[in-house]
Amino acid sequence: MEHNRKEAAGAPVAEAERADMELRGADAERDEAGHRGGTALPSRGKRKRIVLTGGGTTGHVSVNLALIPGLLADGWSVHYIGSRDGIERSLIEPIDGVTYHSVSTGKLRRYWDRKNVTDALRVGKGLVQAASLIRKLKPDVVFSKGGFVSVPVVLAAKLNRVPAIIHESDVTPGLANRIAIPCATAVCTTFPETAAYIKSAKVVQAGPLVRPELYSGDAERGRRLCGFDRSRPVLLVMGGSLGSRRLNEAIYEALPELLPRWQVVHLRGKGQAAAPAAAPAQAAAAAAPRDPALQPSGPIVRIGGAPIAPAAGGDLGPTAPADGRSATGAEASRPAGTGGSEEAEGGGSELMEATDGYRSFEYLSEELPDVLALADAVLSRAGANAIFELLALRKPMLLVPLTLAQSRGDQIRNAASFEAAGLARVLPEEKLSTVTLMQELRALADSGPELDARMAAAAPADPLPLLHRLIRDAAERRG
């Protein structure tokens, strides 16, 4: 029902009461019949209810997005508590069958800032709002993916004796999860190393969760979206849902060197500016056809299935796949998503039409699986969700983790774990330049077949059945 999707900002208690009455009446018949799947529960006279929380970045929402279809199919009443203006609202609110509620939230900093005082007040207000919502909704279980907005929700669950399950994606828990872990009944981890940082019997090694729709991308659709041909392999550049200014700047500077060898699809991040006008023009000139006498003639190496030949002067230059297929060979139907790219939704995401072989988007949603299927290699930050999804798709990765000055070091540890396992190359941001970028991309190409074999051996198992079982067991113990 449409009104079940309304945001509860400003009147969370009243909205929760209305939702409670509507859901109990509308779903009584289905509850008695029982439901299939990993979280199916026997009839108990009322519909089981879960509150999901997490936000601030796409990484703090992605696991919840993967859980929601199974929860709805199995008859759960699904509520989501997030912030009023966070990215989680735009991702969750359009989903039919999920009721979104907002609470006040503030940033939790590890350093002194005058905003710490006002943000502490916002967190306190959010705790009061979350506690009120938990009392009214009476969920059987809370599932938290982390982020600042999750802290008051998990604390409120503890105050109301509702079991809470936390999911931690990084090697070391973030500040929000460190605060919330003492209130949790279980902590699901992605990296095996994380258990050493939690030291609790609550830890459950779940492994990484990959959104199922990412497996169904179509490279040919991605090629049409970007306007690319088969003359060069495709490099996907992505700096996370909010983007990376430094990564973007490095790509703009490197375009004249990149485009003779690669076609580049660039996800700049929400609100990040497009390339300066001069950059595409210079890059287009650099990518112009060359004298045939100067074209590569050396031995061909492969990266992600796409042939790349050493260009004149020892650089790498591409050739088209011999079979006429996309470099990845992906053939699948388009997935249903929760939204489209900004361009597709009419939001004005700009394509750099003047530059052959370069396409730029603020972000992609429904089209992302197709672009991932098209990509032969990926230049990325080192957020845990992103790198495990790239691993599952067997995409060669060059990782540029956030520096210690920008973060708590979680991406540095994530990247180091992948590098030690031989699953990615790492280029510290402090060393990022056009020269080092081109050197690392060549090294990534040289590791082609061996890297692909290691990624295939390390492909993660699907943790969704385990997560659904943990949710079901927590609800049954409480019931």
Annotated binding-site positions for UDP-N-acetyl-alpha-D-glucosamine: 211, 241, 411
Is residue 244 within 8 Å of 267, Cβ to Cβ?
no
107, 175, 463, 57: CA torsion to nearest 10: 20
DSSP 69-122: HHHHHTT-EEEEEE-SSSHHHHHHTTSTTEEEEE-------SS--THHHHHHHH
CB atoms within 10 A of CB 409: 16
Binding site per annotation, positions:
211, 241, 411
Is residue 259 within 8 Å of 287, Cβ to Cβ?
yes
**CA distance linking residue 71 with residue 52, whole number of Å:** 11
**CA distance linking residue 75 with residue 395, whole number of Å:** 36
Question: 353 Cβ partners below 8 Å, 6+ apart?
Answer: none
Burial class of residue 216 in the structure, from the number of CB atoms within 10 Å of its CB (0-12 exposed, 13-18 middle, 19+ buried): middle
Q: DSSP code of 430?
A: G
The residue length of the chain stands at: 479
Is residue 305 within 8 Å of 325, Cβ to Cβ?
no
3-state secondary structure of 391: helix
- Look at the alpha carbons of 340, 396, 64, 53 in this order and tell me if their dihedral is positive or negative: negative
- Look at the alpha carbons of 457, 458, 460, 466 in this order and tell me if their dihedral is positive or negative: positive
Tokens of 329: 């060979």
How are the residues of the chain apportioned to helix, strand and coil, as percentages rounded to the nearest 5? 45, 15, 45
Q: Closest Cα to residue 81, out of 41, 131, 26, 140?
A: 131
**CA distance linking residue 440 with residue 432, whole number of Å:** 10
Beta bridge partners of 81: 53, 101
Question: 11 Cβ partners below 8 Å, 6+ apart?
Answer: none
Q: How many CA atoms lie within 13 A of 246 on its CB side?
A: 15
Tokens of 33: 């019949």
CB atoms within 10 A of CB 307: 17
3-state secondary structure of 171: coil
Tokens of 459: 């492909």
User: Residue for token digits 């190409």?
Assistant: 445
